[in-house]
Amino acid sequence: MARNNEKTVALKKSKRREVFLALALMSPYIITFVLFTFIPVILGVVFSFMRYNPYLPEDNVFIGFQNYLNIFNFDLEITKTFWGSFGTMFVFTAVAVPCLIIIPLALAYFVNMQPPGYKIFRALIYLPSVVSISIMGILFGNMFAGDGTGLINAWLGTNIEWLSGKPWQGDTLRWVVMLIASIWWQTGTNFVIFSGALRNVPKSLYEACEMDGGRKWKKILYVTLPNIKTSVTICLFNTLIGYLALYGQPYTLSDLSNADEMVSPMMFIQYYLGQSAFAKQTGFLCACAIVFGIISMIFGAVQRGAMADRKQQSKYETNCKSYLKNRALLYGDINEEKAEVDYE
Amino acid sequence: MKKKSLVIISTICALTCAFSFAACGGNNNDPTTTGTLKKDENGNVIFEDVEFKLMSVVSGTDKQPFLEMIESFNKTHRGEINVVVDTLYNDTFDETVQGQIKNRLNPPDLIMSHSSGHLNYLDNKLIQPFDEAIELSGITIDMKDYAQGFAKYSDLGKIGSLYSIPTDAQSTIIMYNKILLAKYSETVPVSRAEWLTVSESAKTGEGKEPILMSTTDGSTRDYIFPTAYLQNGGTMYSSDNHAEWSSNATNLDAMKKAIISIRELDTKGLMKKGLSKEAVSAKFVADEALFYIVTPWEVTEIMTNYAKAHGKTLAQVKAEDIGAMSTSKMFAMDANSANAEKIFCDSHGFMMSTTVTDINKKAAMLEFIKWFTETGTVGASWAEAGHISLSNIINGDSAYQQNDFVQNYISKFYPDINKLEGLGNTPLANTMTSCFGQILTDALKNNTDTQDAAIIAEQQKKYNEAYDFSKM
């Protein structure tokens, strides 16, 4: 009995040590997360229910849902600007996100076939991801500058205003440039994830597919895609959330005609929060941020729901299991009941 | 374990909420005055080792001369007053300084920044008036001694108070190629008509570019268009701080004329639009153009590049090759208008932080401001760094007037400091500057005035929307 107690105490001690070690290892992240993400989010939520001016604490008052009501009061011009900032951002996200899944996936697929020099290609594709968005903006801003100094214009011998125009008013070229820049800059990140996932697809499944007479496209459709679904989901989620928070591309790829146009909710919030003249509206801007956060979460949830694993196995995984089950039954390795459980 | 985590998260949430609600009410920041002043038999303040911190936005090529000027002040006031200077770039200046004052974290005592942003300091109760210190110390600073275009905003809307003391201003100027100009005119143009006539001659005579201005450079655009608007009789905003650029007939007319005054340069083939700053600068340096509209802090760099390109010294370039003239009257469609000589400027000014309580410190700051804004030699040194003094006392001082740089450049750029105008007391100086710039950029995309009214109305709406939001 005493020995049992000693064992239990030793076990508890060892568990406690494990927990302590885990916490110690996680603490840098936990502290940073709590200080710079969790607490600011809670503060943001609280401020969104207040008329809050960080400079004048004596004027701060709790006003309930007034800021949220203002966000949906379309008689206010600022409300129209806030919701207007979603427009072009949604269209860009709808175009950019599929591009940033399909292109890295295609590249990863071809590089995974290990053509000559594939290691160089792999490095070259990933390289742009290393630079910051400011560098990306400077590079593409100089390439697509509208005046005589633009490299593309110089090369084409044209004087196209690539980066000018206002939202829905002649700014299509600007969004195309942003799309090209985004693909160049961000393909590498998703490419690495897809490359890893593609290498982990079991070769036996491809062989099974081949035995069934499956050719290249069928292999992609019935073997590759179902087996990299988790990676696609992760990339899709990260890219979607990243593009809903669009800021850097329109900020860096602009010219004098649209430098102050707020083409995304992040730009709207940052523009006003960055000026002390609007300090009194901190509460309203926090409410805008919360509403924007909720909308992003809804998009994220819808995407996750659509991509959720509904326990559908690929055709070749099912066939393989069925084959193994039949073989085990034929050789009498297991009985019917156990086979049902093992090969379910 | 789950329970424990829940307790920890709930505690953090509760503490955060409590902390944020604690931010409501209380904490009155009204400034007070402590201490007493020592005075001599003549009533002059005796300073004994008073030190204060000055935070300045001067951080470009003019920083070194500024620091040298402060050093000379400290030398002459050794044992009495010592000024400790710190500088920050304009981009982060207001945000940083306002945070320092608000949080009482190493706040500056005296602030020298762009006057157009001063109202926000007052709105957020971060500055205090100089009046009490002036009264107690007897060190007088009278706004009648300063350029009226800026002095009129020194109360920041609180009539009878002195919150913001203007020091200096800057705006765009017109550089010219002396050799080319001599071919087509015996004198430097002093009106728009003369300017355009000379430019026409240069165009037809040698096929040179008559006028250069980068329409893709924000800083040139942000000075030149408000100048054109003021010269054509426009006012920046109404008495209730709203923009009336489109809804007021006089302002609309001024806006349209201002656009025409610049568009005309393009339609007459006198100025190419869409050129970058680098491109126009290169053309001017290569003797390919007659006039060049430019910001004053670029002058030295352009002259240096010109000297290098032509194998000359800077002194030779100044004497033989490059001159500069004022934008006064150059954009006024009616040369006889009382507004034709106005020039839009950005200015620097001093403010006192609410964190200062000691009357000795406050008086020391007044002594320093008086020295900086009312001493002729100081004004001349500051002018050499590219800043024109807004003090009538300095402008009337012989040491200032006889300074070589002031004689040859400053007095030619800005003939009358009382014709200089700033943005004044708008809380949204950045938005207003941006709206003005946007009007010009959008209007210059068209060769006719059909869209002008709509463009002006759009920017008026944008500014007023931002203003209403700031006051919502």
Q: Beta partners for B112?
A: B56, B350
Angstrom distance (rounded) from CA A235 to CA A186 = 11
Give A81's contacts in chain B (Cβ within 8 Å).
465
- Distances from the Cα of A118 to the Cα of A114, A121, B18, angstroms: 6, 5, 58
A135 pLDDT band, cuts 50/70/90, is very high
- Distances from the Cα of B106 to the Cα of B54, B101, B109, B349, angstroms: 11, 8, 9, 21
Placement of tokens 């008036």 in the chain: B129
Mean pLDDT, residues A95-109? 93
User: HSE (CB half, 13 Å, CA atoms) of A300?
Assistant: 16
Angstrom distance (rounded) from CA B383 to CA B405 = 7
Give A76's contacts in chain B (Cβ within 8 Å).
472
Min distance A6 CA to chain B CA atoms (Å): 23
Placement of tokens 């009264």 in the chain: B135
pLDDT of residue B109: 94
DSSP state of A169: B
Angstrom distance (rounded) from CA A290 to CA B39 = 59
Q: Beta partners for B146?
A: B391
Instruction: Write the pLDDT tens digit of every residue in A146-183.
Output: 766 788 888 888 888 888 888 888 888 999 999 999 99
Q: What is the mean pLDDT of chain A?
A: 86
- Chain A and chain B share a number of CB contacts under 8 A equal to 117
B278–chain A Cβ distance below 8 A for any pair? yes
B468–chain A Cβ distance below 8 A for any pair? yes
A57 pLDDT band, cuts 50/70/90, is confident
Phi, psi of B83 (to 5 degrees): -100, 125
Please answer yes or no on whether A276 and B124 come within 8 Å at the CB atom.
yes
Min distance B442 CA to chain A CA atoms (Å): 7
Angstrom distance (rounded) from CA B288 to CA B206 = 10
pLDDT of residue B257: 94
A2 pLDDT band, cuts 50/70/90, is low
**Nearest by CB: B17 against A42, A61, A279:** A42
Please answer yes or no on whether B123 and A277 come within 8 Å at the CB atom.
yes
Please answer yes or no on whether A43 and B27 come within 8 Å at the CB atom.
no
**Nearest by CB: A55 against B125, B427, B472:** B125
**Nearest by CB: A277 against B21, B120, B216:** B120
The b/e string for A147-157 (b: 16+ C-beta within 10 A; e otherwise) is beebebbeeee
- Residue A30: closest CA among chain B residues belongs to which residue? B9
Min distance B223 CA to chain A CA atoms (Å): 14
Please answer yes or no on whether A276 and B430 come within 8 Å at the CB atom.
no
Helix (H) or strand (E) run with residue A51 in it: strand A50-51
pLDDT of residue B18: 64
- Distances from the Cα of B341 to the Cα of B190, B225, B305, B338, B417, angstroms: 10, 14, 31, 7, 10
- Distances from the Cα of A290 to the Cα of A45, A296, B3, B236, B268, angstroms: 7, 10, 28, 36, 53
Give B21's contacts in chain A (Cβ within 8 Å).
46, 62
Angstrom distance (rounded) from CA B227 to CA B120 = 24
B430–chain A Cβ distance below 8 A for any pair? yes
Contact B149, B378 (CB under 8 A): no
Placement of tokens 């100048």 in the chain: B227
pLDDT of residue B76: 92
Give B471's contacts in chain A (Cβ within 8 Å).
280
- Distances from the Cα of B445 to the Cα of A8, A72, A116, B432, B435, angstroms: 82, 36, 51, 20, 16
* Chain A residue set in contact with B, beta carbons under 8 Å: 34, 38-39, 42-43, 46-47, 50, 52-58, 60-62, 70, 76-78, 81, 145-149, 159, 255-257, 259-260, 272, 274-281, 284
pLDDT of residue B298: 81
A288 pLDDT band, cuts 50/70/90, is very high
Please answer yes or no on whether B437 and A256 come within 8 Å at the CB atom.
yes
User: HSE (CB half, 13 Å, CA atoms) of A165?
Assistant: 19
pLDDT of residue A6: 79
Contact B201, B270 (CB under 8 A): no
Angstrom distance (rounded) from CA B255 to CA B442 = 13
Min distance A30 CA to chain B CA atoms (Å): 12
Which residues of chain B fall below pLDDT 50? Answer: none
Contact A146, B216 (CB under 8 A): yes
Please answer yes or no on whether B24 and A62 come within 8 Å at the CB atom.
yes
B8–chain A Cβ distance below 8 A for any pair? no
Angstrom distance (rounded) from CA B227 to CA B331 = 8
B16–chain A Cβ distance below 8 A for any pair? yes
How is B434-467 classified by DSSP, letter by letter?
Answer: HHHHHHHHHHTT-SSSTTHHHHHHHHHHHHHHHH
Instruction: Write the pLDDT tens digit of every residue in A221-257.
Output: 888 888 888 899 889 988 998 888 889 899 989 888 7
Three-state SS at B215 = coil
Please answer yes or no on whether B124 and A56 come within 8 Å at the CB atom.
yes
Query: Quick one: tokens of A264?
Result: 């995304």
Angle between helices A315-330 and A203-211 (to 10 degrees): 80
Angstrom distance (rounded) from CA B417 to CA B391 = 8
Min distance B241 CA to chain A CA atoms (Å): 13
Give A69's contacts in chain B (Cβ within 8 Å).
none
Q: What is the CA radius of gyration of chain A?
A: 27
**Nearest by CB: A147 against B94, B274, B428:** B274
B219–chain A Cβ distance below 8 A for any pair? no
Min distance A17 CA to chain B CA atoms (Å): 15
Angstrom distance (rounded) from CA B155 to CA B236 = 18
| B positions 72-111 inside 8 Å of A (CB) | 94-95, 98, 102
Please answer yes or no on whether B13 and A42 come within 8 Å at the CB atom.
yes
Strand order in the sheet with B173-177: B209-212, B289-294, B173-177, B322-325
Please answer yes or no on whether B21 and A46 come within 8 Å at the CB atom.
yes
Interface test with B, best of A23, A55, A69, A76 (most B CBs within 10 A): A55
Please answer yes or no on whether B428 and A277 come within 8 Å at the CB atom.
yes
Amino acid at A40: P
B5–chain A Cβ distance below 8 A for any pair? no
**Nearest by CB: A276 against B12, B120, B276:** B120
Instruction: Write the pLDDT tens digit of every residue in A58-84.
Output: 888 899 999 999 999 988 888 998 999
Given the DSSP bridges, would you call strands B165-170 and B420-421 parallel, antiparallel or unpaired? Answer: unpaired
Phi, psi of B185 (to 5 degrees): -155, 145
- Residue A146: closest CA among chain B residues belongs to which residue? B274
